[in-house]
Amino acid sequence: MTTHALPLRTKAHERVLAQPVLDGLFLATVLTVTFHKLQWELAGSLTLSDVLTSVFLVVFCWDRLERGDTRLTRTALVALGFLLAFALVYLAGFYSLDTAQSLAQWAKGMVKFVLHFGFLVTGVALLARRSLRFYWLALAAFCGGIALNALYGVIQLGLAEVVGANLDAALIEPITSRQTGINVFGAVGGTQEVFRPNALTGDPNHLGIELVIPLLVLTPLYLRLERGHRLRTPLAMLLGFLLVVELATLSRSGLLGLGCGALVLALPYRRHFRRPAFLVPLAAVFALVAGVIVARLDFFLTVLRARTNTTSAAASPHFEVYGFVPDVLATDPLLGLGLNNFAVYYEFVTGRPEFGPHSFYVATLVETGIVGAALFAVFVIWIFRRLGTARGLGRALAAVGDPLAARARPLAWGMTAALVATLVANLFYLTMTFYYFYVFAALAVALPVVLGRAARGS
């Protein structure tokens, strides 16, 4: 058997990018999927990753047609079945729309859905035909994109705190012609502004929730690295950095999700949580954070009280939005109000034309009814089952002494924890409607396919 490292060693003649243009577009999309501020008004709001996806889908389909190759793996076919099922639900909801505004919102939602779920299907089909090394590269691009977002957020926060500069005005606005900037949570004492980095995501809570994925996916991989592995120190530093940025976002939903994901990882890795490899970097992070807090104790105590006050005006919408569900289910129980139409019907309550519910589950029930919510529940269960298959494959590989198990099982557990964390965090936010979740889903469901091919090869 061959020995698999992280990244996996491959034969000298094997090319990482089998089709440079197609694979490059895939990796570029994965890398930029959280760069939400890079968007333009082109037949609706299209982000950089949406534009890259459009090109990728065209190239993918053209390549398959040119080759006369319509074959898909079973996993890609199931994903295609989900795409068609969701499309039917959304199209059925179309017939209940009765205003130009609601139709426009529905059309915007459908364009995003086709692009994002289309990438999920084709992404799985692509990964199924690529090497495990390419999968590692895709995962690195995904986590690296979020890490770049975090780095941008730190620079953004530093400039705002030290010199009061708006980094977005210098880098983002000239490209997009859209005014953006760092989030201002409030002011302490009427003069000291409280900044929360939103980086390229547009919202500090979105950044906080997205950060839980690399934190939870990479932690078990780091814990299982052999002593002296060349990636051990870089991963420890990266995880510590991401945790600091997570805390800087002041995102309650992000921390709630991270805590629940950590509980999932505690099941198989609790003994690793007591070892220096985990405790030393964690202690370094908390020492750094504690030093910053002590230097401005009164300031941070005021901020902490504000973020833990669940009766404040900022917190109440997260709970009150659940009150919309019974009213909608009483009038449109099966299909809801229509895809992307929450803002249309509740603008008279929120006072904002583009306001979304502060909960993915409220959005799903209100906009797609019981049918749409049930379908999404089946979709999530399928992702969990695919990750369960990956964990089972890891156990089987460990039983026969295949070194690939030392990477397969931690990765499968990390993705399982990240999925749980995202589901929990979306109780009070709706980042699961964002593109990054579909990319994560593609990587998750493709994992057992790629691992199976690698295992047969070894």
DSSP string, 71-93: ---HHHHHHHHHHHHHHHHHHHH
According to the model, what pLDDT value does residue 399 have? Answer: 87
| 183-219 tens-digit pLDDT | 888 777 667 788 999 999 989 999 999 999 999 999 9
Amino acid at position 414, single letter: G
Q: What angle do CA 61, 67, 70 make, to 5 degrees?
A: 60
The answer as to whether 15 is a domain residue is: no
The answer as to whether 7 is a domain residue is: no
The answer as to whether 12 is a domain residue is: no
Question: Which residue ranges in the chain fall short of pLDDT 70?
Answer: 1-14, 43-44, 189-190, 310-319, 345-356, 458
C-alpha 57/C-alpha 196 separation (Å) is: 36
Return left, alpha or beta for 185; rule: phi > 0 is left, psi -120 to 50 is alpha, else beta.
alpha
- The pair of three-digit structure tokens given for residue 19, joined into one six-digit string: 């089709």
Look up the domain containing 207 and give its range.
20-457
According to the model, what pLDDT value does residue 316 have? Answer: 58
The answer as to whether 6 is a domain residue is: no
> For the CA atoms of the chain, what is the radius of gyration?
22
According to the model, what pLDDT value does residue 310 have? Answer: 64
pTM, full prediction: 0.92
According to the model, what pLDDT value does residue 15 have? Answer: 73
How many structural domains does the chain have?
1
The answer as to whether 4 is a domain residue is: no
According to the model, what pLDDT value does residue 5 have? Answer: 43
According to the model, what pLDDT value does residue 13 have? Answer: 43
C-alpha 111/C-alpha 43 separation (Å) is: 10
According to the model, what pLDDT value does residue 312 have? Answer: 55
The answer as to whether 38 is a domain residue is: yes
The answer as to whether 445 is a domain residue is: yes
C-alpha 234/C-alpha 18 separation (Å) is: 28
The answer as to whether 81 is a domain residue is: yes
Q: Please name every residue paired with 196 in a beta bridge, in sequence order, or none if there are none.
A: 183
According to the model, what pLDDT value does residue 318 have? Answer: 63
